[in-house]
Amino acid sequence: MPKLTIDNRKVEVDSGATILDAAGRLGIEIPTMCFLKGCSPLTSCMICLVKVESSNSLVPACATVAQEGMVVETNSEQIRQARVTALELLLSDHVGDCMGPCQIACPAKMNIPLMIRQIAAGKLTDAIVTVKKDIALPAILGRICPAPCEKTCRRAKLDEAVSICLLKRLAADVDLESEKPYLPTCRAKQGKRVAIVGAGPAGLAAAYYLLQEGIGCTVFDDHEKPGGMLRYGIGREMLAEDILDGEIGVILKLGAIFQGNTRIGVDVSLADLRKDFDAVFLAPGDIKPDGGEYADLEFGPKGIDVDGPTYQTSIAGVFAGGDAVRRRKLAVRSVADGKEAAVSIAQFLSGRQVTGPGKPFNTHMGKLLDGEIEKFATSASQSSRLAPSSDCAGFTNRQGRDEAGRCLHCDCRKPDACKLRQYAGDYGAKPSRYKAQRKMFEQKSGHRDIIYEPAKCIHCGLCIEIASEAKEELGLTFIGRGFDVQVAVPFGRSIADGLKKTADKCVNACPTGSLAFKDKT
């Protein structure tokens, strides 16, 4: 039984065990993509590289047998850079988007594709949970949002964009009309309080997300009722008062305290708020640097000057967002500001480093090649875009399901399980570091339960070995050589012919979104 040292820690393992096995005994995580317990090591991804003291080169931990007296290092700058290079080479010919173009275009980064699939499946209760994870006022925005998400919808290249905004409105309206509209779970009270100046979209959204963190919120506004520009700047023919009151009422039910007819600098000062509360979020709308109550703040050409990712102003504990810091006058952008600022404020109040919300890793296919949009459309409804019965009406449940069926499912089908995405984010890999001729996007959807996208495959070989072990009649194999190699079913047969018994197991083993289930929502 060889004894070795890994990261200055000693371990004894069985004869024949690998460095990866030994590291696992110590609880040391070494990243792997092409390794699966029970399968022979394939050493194709090369992100499990480690340094053995007696060697001048790095070795794959999954295939290197542990030897007596071996001294191994698993985490150094040299090792890290080697893993980054391996990831960036894998990304160089990866064809697919982690997040759909619609989600990227949404200022709040709402998971639009997931919402659409939930509506298509008739799961409106799930859909509103998805929506309100990122958008605090969806019924309101479903009526007034200019829908930047629809401007990037790939379906428009085929006929017309999916009616994303109306689908969001459907989920929100059904929820508001229910006996118990959705209330998110809130953490236990943290004993912290935030003063929010301005009861418009940014201030209301900040309160919605801060309250979920167990942080008390008092919202100050110079009007009698909350809503800001939503109530006093938009006509009731576009945004009915009962919708406005209904969504604001949800935030008040969570515990927000509204204090109207209160002018900052007249009824209460910013200095008072800083003294009486643990943090302040400024979202009063357009502010002029006129030397008034906000004179101590630094201003830029667009409003209060803030640190972009964190919304921090020049005064410690004071944050700002919405039209106070920008001139776009876009309610969905203000709602996004409130959500993101709430993350920074919660970090500040907990004593953590204030970094703002994390940015998820994403790859972009870019401009579609000739013939690719038709391949996206193979699994989508061929129906034309639906329209409500009138300008003021929304979709019925039936219309919503039909319209949702038009979605092309541009996002990855395994966004949370994809190891390539996970490790690329962890290691800060850049998808565009190495340029390669882009492969053609392709979907093989002939199997009843799964979809195969060859251009996302990293040729790890796990599915080939799984199919072989299960004695699939055809299974899968490597076809071609060098950069042109592909994993495919022999003799040009379909994926349904190749994976008759092991489709589920192959999907679960696949380290990317190359093999995925069709209907998982």
Q: What is the 3-class SS of 198-231, one letter each residue?
A: CCCHHHHHHHHHHHHCCCEEEEECCCCCCCCHHH
| Centroid of chain to Cα 133 | 11
Q: Kindly give the parts of the chain with pLDDT less than 50.
A: none
Give the model confidence (pLDDT) of 375-415 as tens digits. Answer: 999 889 999 999 987 777 899 999 999 999 999 999 999 99
Residues 166 and 203 in one domain: no
Residues 113 and 141 in one domain: yes
Side-chain-facing half-sphere of 150: CA atoms under 13 Å: 16
Could you tell me the sign of the dihedral formed by the alpha carbons of 329, 330, 335, 338, in that order?
negative
Q: Enumerate residues 6+ apart whose C-beta is below 8 A from 191.
A: none
Residue 481 confidence (pLDDT) = 81
Amino acid at 208: Y
Question: Is 308 within the bounds of a domain?
Answer: yes
Q: How many domains does the chain have?
A: 4
Residues 20 and 63 in one domain: yes
Question: Is 305 within the bounds of a domain?
Answer: yes
Q: Enumerate residues 6+ apart whose C-beta is below 8 A from 114.
A: 130, 521
Cα separation, 179 vs 183, in Å, equals 12
Burial readout 310-338 (b: 16 or more C-beta within 10 A, e: otherwise): bbbbebebbbbbbbbbbeeebbbbbbbbb
Residue 291 confidence (pLDDT) = 60
Question: Is 444 within the bounds of a domain?
Answer: yes
Residues 123 and 44 in one domain: no
Cα separation, 291 vs 360, in Å, equals 39
Residues 204 and 157 in one domain: no
Copy the structure tokens of residue 134.
Answer: 């990122």
Cα separation, 10 vs 43, in Å, equals 25
Copy the structure tokens of residue 429.
Answer: 């890999």
- Of 354, 380, 404, the position where a domain reaches its end is 404
pTM of the prediction? 0.93
Q: Using an 8 Å Cβ cutoff, are 438 and 465 in contact?
A: no
Residues 205 and 320 in one domain: yes
Question: Is 23 within the bounds of a domain?
Answer: yes
Copy the structure tokens of residue 1.
Answer: 């039984």
Residues 284 and 221 in one domain: yes
Residues 281 and 146 in one domain: no
Tell me how far CA of residue 248 lies from CA of 215, 226, 231, 241, 251, in angstroms.
18, 8, 11, 11, 5
Question: Is 85 within the bounds of a domain?
Answer: no
**The tokens 């952008």 sit on which residue?**
333
The radius of gyration of the chain's CA atoms, rounded to the nearest angstrom, is 27
- Of 404, 427, 454, the position where a domain reaches its end is 404
Cα separation, 488 vs 511, in Å, equals 17
Residues 142 and 172 in one domain: yes
**The tokens 């979104």 sit on which residue?**
513
Could you tell me the sign of the dihedral formed by the alpha carbons of 451, 457, 460, 461, in that order?
positive
Question: Is 227 within the bounds of a domain?
Answer: yes
Cα separation, 38 vs 502, in Å, equals 15
Residues 248 and 300 in one domain: yes
Residue 10 confidence (pLDDT) = 97
Question: Is 347 within the bounds of a domain?
Answer: no
Cα separation, 346 vs 340, in Å, equals 10
Residues 221 and 324 in one domain: yes
Residues 133 and 168 in one domain: yes
Question: Is 41 within the bounds of a domain?
Answer: yes
Copy the structure tokens of residue 96.
Answer: 């697919």
In 353-448, which ranges are continuous DSSP H helix? 372-376, 397-404, 419-427
Copy the structure tokens of residue 470.
Answer: 């299960």
Q: Which domain holds residue 334?
A: 193-341
- Of 59, 75, 91, the position where a domain reaches its end is 75
